[in-house]
Amino acid sequence: MAEFDVDLFVIGGGSGGVRAARIAANYGAKVMVAEEYRMGGTCVIRGCVPKKLFVIGSHVHQEIEDAAGFGWSIGQVSFDWATLVANKDKEIARLEGAYTTNVEKSGARIVKSRAVLEDAHTLRLATGEKVTAKYILIATGGAPNHGPHVPGIEHVISSNEAFHLKELPKRIVIQGGGYIALEFAGIFAGYGSDVTVVYRGDNILRGFDEDVRKHVRAEMEKRGITIITGCTVTKVDKHGRDFTAHLSGGSSIAADQVMFAIGRHPNVANLGLETAGVAINPANGGIQVDGWSKTSVDNIYAVGDVTHRANLTPVAIREGHAFADTVFGKRPVQVDHATIPTAVFSQPEVGTVGLTEEEARAQFSHVDIYKTDFRPIKATMSGRDTRVLMKLVVDGSSDRVLGCHIVGDCAAEITQVVAIAVKMKATKADFDATIALHPTASEELVTMRTPTARHVRQAAE
């Protein structure tokens, strides 16, 4: 009789957990996956996928406006929010089915239940059933965090509810200045809502390159989005179907919806972590793991947003795969968390990889900056007042490209390819030796010859 019921028990059916389960099962492990809600996790059900679908749809209004400059005369148009939501729901259901099928095809078993740790090898399901496992992987992801309690917080929605609104709000206040807040600001504005963004910091996109932050804000404001910084929502009142958001500066804003997108926290509560001896990282509130994604308990691992390392779906997938390779494939693999490309599907879009100018200047003595800000070719005919930003951060001593930052159409698509070059430690000379692909916006990355700034850090006396 086997010592354990399964070789691997995965808590969470999101991207990281599913990848780990499939790879482990392919190595011959007996695997069980517990998911209490829907297979696919945050990304598929209430994150990247529905968000990107909403973003794509929200671009149509601008495309219609721009069409006139190219000779198109488009008559009366209308938009139906309910149709968008219904079609999105249909696609998410399809993807959920695909996730489920792929896990089952690998030989792993799915149980639709919450699972709680009773000790380092035992889990209790909501049905009362107990399962023992040689290894346990925690991949429970994260959830929206509304921050400190404010009066009227019960009236506030998060990004979760934004995907299921019965109707498009005519006016919406969004608190937050990161990925989610700005992406939804662009979504709602694109569909015709009056959008106000409220952020406590001095400028949006904290942690991004300063030029990116300024450029995105200016472009969003050109598109009619109001951005109020150095401010927070202190109270939300409800009057029938309307709301009033009171701000720390003393002013107030009337709205049909108030949304908070001020961050996410790891789903670590009520999992039995304390009982099993799994430690929490005091610095970020996520499960504490080492470079192999191993927790403080030898046979328990954690991947993805629940660790609060780099909260990006492809990172969770890579971590889950590496875990399965290491533990079940006997092929030790560690995930390199350096130089991870990322995108903000705001409008305009942001793509970035590597170091910001500020980070580079703190780490390297000589830093060269190559930067261009130009009107894209489409705008010359559409007449739209918009500009693209491209920026390379280069080590002035070795000529290595340390970072690339792009704001404009297709920024994410361009950045994915540039990330390969940055990961390979390409030099500015390598970029310069690459023939431009004309006429594109991205050709600017290989035609910027003269630094716009050179920084030399003086040695301490």
Across 137-146, average pLDDT: 92
State CA 215 to chain mean position distance: 20
Measured at the CA of 325, the angle between CA 321 and CA 329, to 5 degrees, comes to 145
pLDDT one-digit tens code per residue, 275-324: 999 999 999 999 999 999 999 999 999 999 999 999 999 999 999 999 99
pLDDT one-digit tens code per residue, 99-114: 999 999 999 999 999 9
Question: Which of 321, 366, 405, 438 does the annotation list as catalytic?
Answer: 438
- Using CA atoms, how far residue 192 sits from 164, 198, 357, 359, in Å, is 17, 19, 36, 38
pLDDT at position 41 is 86
Please, which pLDDT band fits residue 146 given cuts at 50, 70 and 90?
Answer: confident
Domain spanning 153-262, CATH class:
alpha beta
Domains 6-144+265-327 and 153-262 belong to one CATH topology: yes
Q: How far apart are CA 345 and CA 351, in angstroms?
A: 9
- Using CA atoms, how far residue 281 sits from 147, 278, 287, 304, 343, in Å, is 19, 10, 6, 14, 26
Please, which pLDDT band fits residue 460 given cuts at 50, 70 and 90?
Answer: very low
pLDDT one-digit tens code per residue, 330-368: 999 999 999 999 999 999 999 999 999 999 999 999 999
CATH architecture, range 348-453:
2-Layer Sandwich (3.30)
CATH architecture, range 6-144+265-327:
3-Layer(bba) Sandwich (3.50)
pLDDT at position 333 is 94
Residue 457 pLDDT exceeds 60:
yes
pLDDT one-digit tens code per residue, 231-240: 999 999 999 9
Domain ranges of the chain: 6-144+265-327, 153-262, 348-453
Residue 155 catalytic? no
Share the mean pLDDT of the chain. Answer: 95
Please, which pLDDT band fits residue 461 given cuts at 50, 70 and 90?
Answer: very low
pLDDT one-digit tens code per residue, 384-438: 999 999 999 999 999 999 999 999 999 999 999 999 999 999 999 999 999 999 9
